[in-house]
Structure formats: structure tokens, C-alpha cells
Chain A
Amino acid sequence: MLENQPEKWDMEVDLVSIGSGAGGLAAAIAAQDHGLSAIVIERSSELGGVTAYSMGEVWIPGNHLASGLGLEDSPESGRLYVQSLSMGYGEDRAMLNQAIHGPVALKYFEDRIGLKLQVIRNFPDYYYPHNNNSVAEGRYLEPVPFAAETLGAFQHKTRLTPHLPAGFTHEDIFHGGGLANILAWNYELLAERITKDLRCLGPGLAAYFVKGALDRGVQLFTDTSADELICDGTRVVGVRATREGKALFIKAKRGVVIAVSGYERNKDLAKTLSNLLDPVSMVFGTVDGAHFRLAGPLGARIARVPDPANLGIHMPGEEHDNGTPLWRGSLPFLGLPHTIVVNRAGKRFANEAFYRSVYYAVDHIDGATQTHPNFPCWMVFDHQARTKYPCGGAMPGQDLPEGFAVISGSLKELAARIGVDPDGLEQTVGVFNDYAEAGVDPDFQRGTFPWGAAMTGDIKHKPNPNLGTLREGPFYAIALQRMGGGGINGAGLVADHHCRVMGWDDRPIEGLYVAGNSMVRFDTGAMMQSGLSNARGMTHGYLAGRHAAGCPSDLLDTALAGQGTVA
């Protein structure tokens, strides 16, 4: 163990949380509530992390809000769902730990900080109804609109998202016909929420936690980057940070929580840890793998679960508020009627209405030719899609900015212009159009995942919300770029059930915790379920804060003792 203490500390607290997303804030709140003094340091100029960029979905099986509505579920059913989809890449103990503590952490933050979530009605699990333990609704929660004025001086220091209007809840969006039917949304309501700064989705979720931290006197430092962990030879005892260009040594008597999200903005780490080549990203630049730089020198163990490349699009002229180009996830657009995704051969290769299917297929390597048969790939759509649906930041019917799409009157010419086999594309579209008319996709089963219909289809489109012909020119093609997972990456720090970072010797590194996306996803393995990342962050923060305060949760031990196993 390192011994690198400074001659003098600039500050002294019990717990330092590094990163101000759900994970870091939850840990600081839980610690402070259990009698510790806590500080959150955040490298960017705003609080809230990628949590605030998110859709604000929180996925917790067996939560009390669903049971209050009479929706039948249990943490155990959720655990079985996750485990059965994890393909052996996860760890049973980690899955059980999340299943047990998710509902507990939710209740805790409701009671303590006034977190208000609601069930997103009629919003199914990804694999509903294909998995025996999936549910049609109840596990997905989202924030009730949060009055950001109550944040006082931090109102404008708490992050918003460029990805969606933060004045709408899922309920509002689905009520208006879903993401596809953007013109039918209630914009009067949006205007009212913007005027009153009532925040929904991720900005709402992050704001609840910022408020919780402020209310109990947790110190919140923005523009403060953690650069090194400080140890006394036996345990982690502090952090060296940089603030206003100067070193700041913060003593952490009870522990340090690393909650700095993933590493996708660091292209080298993305390539070497996730085999993600030259990715673009939906998130801001500070999501660049600080957890490895911080914990690596202490011998922290890292591991990886499968994490396919996402696919992104950039509409020229759209930027983050710091001036960098904004990349959007292509997920909401790929499964829309009148839209397909094709490879160089002009062939479809996956169920475009279920992103897990597309993304894993994009990474596929043909060992015989040492190529990626499905990358590069293009989203191809017709005039009907352009008239009815949004595309990136462009509204239905709106001209696409120059450089966004290749446009042509004929499919063959379009294919030639983008370097796709023209005959292949024409044939694919011919077959697809027959499927679309019949409302059935025998090749890839588009439209058989209700989640995909809700999130990437047009729920008003008949007979199949994800199938519509490509018959009307002009035709459009947009090249899809490999993209990071929005902070969710496959590799991360290994931790025990109290979120203590583990060394390569399989022993916890004393005084060091990890929360959120910085922790490897042994609790999901190869599966993914939106809402789980925010849920993990909250849950990890709760567990880490309690443990650092000397009140560790014993629920996993109790559950395992009941099964005759030890934690």
C-alpha cells in the first residue's frame, strides 16, 4: 500500500465522494445521515453527472411503489430475470445484493431526502414477454417533476440534458404517442414546466439528490478534480484534488467513494478495455476513466463484462452547452416504421427495434475474413419516415441540415453514393416491404418486444409499431458511428457487497469504495436493462455510505445465511 500523505491537509472530513452523479451524491447523503461529514467533489462545472443526462429511469424489481398499485412482483423475480439473461458473465452474489438492496435504497432516499419517483405505467422490461420473470410494468420508475428553484444557488449549477426536453415525464411522452409522435406532445405543459423550472427525467433525478445533499449540509465542490488517492500505508485516507489550479489535499477519515462513471471519452481506454474502436459519445468530456487512474496505483482489481458498441448520430449544428458536438443515441430512430439498418452488402442484420440485437451484431467479427461484416452500417429511411417522425434533433418534415444524411430519389443511387451494394439494398427493401405490409418480420422479429415498440417504434402505427414500408422517395441514409454506452461501459473496478474496492489479492482496499458505473457490472453480466444504471448508483451509494459510517447493511448476509451460504 502506498504511503503518500502530505505534510498538511487543506480540509478534513469523514467521507469524500468523487463524482456528483447518483452514486457519489447518494454515498455522501447516506454517510452524512449516519453521522459522518461528507463532501462531494465534481470535476466539471455542474453537478449531476451523466445521471442528469439520462432519461431518469430507475429500474427496481419488487419496489413498494409498484406493489402500492397492486402490481405483482418481487426482488427475487427481478433477480431471476437478471440472472437468466446474464449469460454466466455476472456473479450470483452481486445480483442478489442489488436485488435485495435496490428496493431498500429507494425507500431510504424517499424517506430521507424526499425523493419522489413514480411507476411508469405500461412500460415493460426489455425482455417482456419473452422471459418468464419479466413484467409488463412496475419495475420502471421515474422522477416526479422536481422544483429546481429549491436548489437556490445550485439551481444553475445542476446539470440539464441536451438529449430530451427535461420538462416531460415518460408518462407525458407516452400519453402524447411516444417518442415517435413528437408533434402530439403537450407543449403547453412543457412551456409551463420550463417557466417554473420543474425538472423531469435525469435532470429531475439528479436534482433530488443535489437537494438531499444540500439539505443536510454536504459540501459540494464543482470544478474540482480528484487526481490521486492518498494512503497511510494501510488504508486510503484522503484525496489530492485540483481546484482553481491549486492542489487541494482533503483528508477522508472514514473513506473515499469513487463514482466517476465510465471511460468512454478516453478513446485509448475505450479501445483497450472495451474493444470499442474510435467511439463517439453522448456524454461530456470528464467521463474518461478517472477511476482506473485513481485506484490503479493501489492495486485495485478490474474486470469486464460484455459491452457492445452503441450507435450514434450527429446532426450538424447541435452542440453540448460547452460547445462540443452533440452525439445522440440512434436507438429511438432505428426501429421506426419506414426505417431499416443495413450493412455494406445492403442487408439487414438485426432486429432494429431492439437495440441489444443491433449493437451486439455490429461488433460481430467474421474470423474467416477478419472483418466486421456489419460495420460500417447505415440507417436507411424514406420520405414517409421523414414526414412523420423526428430524426436526431430534426422535427418531422423539417429539412435536414447539410451533411447529416445522403438523400436520393432512388434506392439504387442512394446505395451507390454511400458505398453499399445497390442490388442488395433494393432486394432487402423489397423483402422488408412485404414484411411491413404483413406486419411480421420473419427474419429478425421486429415488433415482438413491447419495450422496443414503446421506445423505438410508433405505437400508433398499425399493424406493427416497428414495421412500415420504404416506398416513397426521396430515400435517406445516415452512417451510424460506434458510440460509448452513455457512461455505461463493460470494464470497472471490482467491489464486494459493501462496495469496497477489491485488490488483486481479493482483499478489500480499506477506506476505498466505488459506486455506479465505475464498478464492474457483475450484477448484470452480459444483460442490460435501462434504469438499472441509475438504480445501481443509488444503491451503491447507500451501501458505501453506510459501511463507511460503521453501519453496514447485513441484509445480504441474512439472505445468504438463510440459504446456508456466507457473503
Chain B
Amino acid sequence: MAMLEVKNLSKSFGNLKVLEDINMTVEKGEVVAVIGPSGSGKSTLLRCINQLEKAGGGEIKVCGTDMLLKNDSGKTVYADSKTLREIRLKTGLVFQNFNLFPHMTVLRNITEAPVCVLKKNKQEAQAKAMELLRKMGLETKAKSYPCELSGGQQQRVSIARALALNPEILFFDEPTSALDPELTGEILKVIKELAAEGMTMVIVTHEMAFARDVADKVVFMEGGYIVEQGAPEQLFGDSASDRVKQFLQRFNN
């Protein structure tokens, strides 16, 4: 089953067209890397899918449920708020700059949404959080505050926080871009482990080697369009597009 279907999606900020005719599909268990120059609309695409920006037009379907659709008179509309909420819980988003809650301990950062939003019992949520922290190699940091952690550790907490809601599909917006180069490895490793477990993921990244290694599909964006999408071998090997070749050249040098 397709976990994400985006059709003909568009988005403008005032007169500035940021997304145009975006079409993509993500199957269950698939890892999709989104690459492209800065300002090409990668974040905006993720933000539209995660309901942080209002899309201009097109269709979005998450886990088979219509989120953005055409109504009977052909107008683009959002689903009702109850459906949007349900979809929201099926998608998780990991931010470039973590956005952890600074006033809460690491453990509380992870349990707050399961307890307050999913109304899970506190012990259960804490047990699950500890399990996630162990997986992230952070079981000793449960009682720390985010400010006491390194960037890499904070990002791992924010991944655990997103996973605590058992999302069907997880989005990453440049998860390593705010980190010192020596810390990116630990995040990429966690994402690889998630991929091995069959997690469906869409990852915006500038780590080309990583994208090539872990992605089942690569999407190249520029100027608000998807210029090319396909298997990593195709894009990184012998892309049909000069723009893609040019862009990748810069990373090889």
C-alpha cells in the first residue's frame, strides 16, 4: 500500500511559487531521499505534508486517507479536522534544529505526546520511552535536560520523540545539517537502523553518500519542481538530467 501519495501539489508564498506540479509516491517500507539545492522547496514540501503549511492545490493522501483532495465541484479542500488530526498522528517529523522542549527532561520530551495526546498511561509511556532511549544509546540521559546534551544526542532524542507516537511514516528535514561534521555519523546510523527495521521514511538530506546507500528512491528538486526521481543508481549513476549531474558534481569534488 502507498503510505504517501502526492499529486500535482502546488504552493505559493504570495507571488512566489515554491512548489509546482509535485508528484510522488512512497510505498510501505520505502526510504525516499529528497535532494536538491537550497531554496528548491524541499522543506516546504515536507511542511505541506505535515500540515505546517497550507498547500495551494493538488492532492495528498497519507496511508490511504485523503488529506488534501478535490471536492465534488473540483475545488481543492482539506479533509475535516478530525481526519487531519488522525493523519497528523500517523506522520512524524524530525526537524533540522531538533525543536526539543527545553523545559522538559529527555524522558518527558518523549512521553508528553503519548500521555497528553494519545492518553496513554504514564508508566506505559515511560517504559516505551526508555526502550526508545536504549535503542538510541541514550538510556543514561533520561533525566537530563536538552541543553545538557550534544547536538547529536538532542537529534536522537527528537527521533525517539517522533517514534514514541508509532508513526506510519517518518519525515526528516536535513536531520544532520545543524550538527558538527563528526556528529552526523551517529544520526545517519540511527536512520539506517530504522530503515533496516522497515520504517517508511522521507529524508531531505545533503549527505549524498548516505542517500545513495540507504534510499530506495531519490527525488531531485529544483526551483519548486521535481526534476527527476528514480532509483539511486539511476540518479547518481547516469542521470538523464544535466541539472542533476551538475548538482551532484559539486558533491563529488
A and B from one assembly?
Answer: no
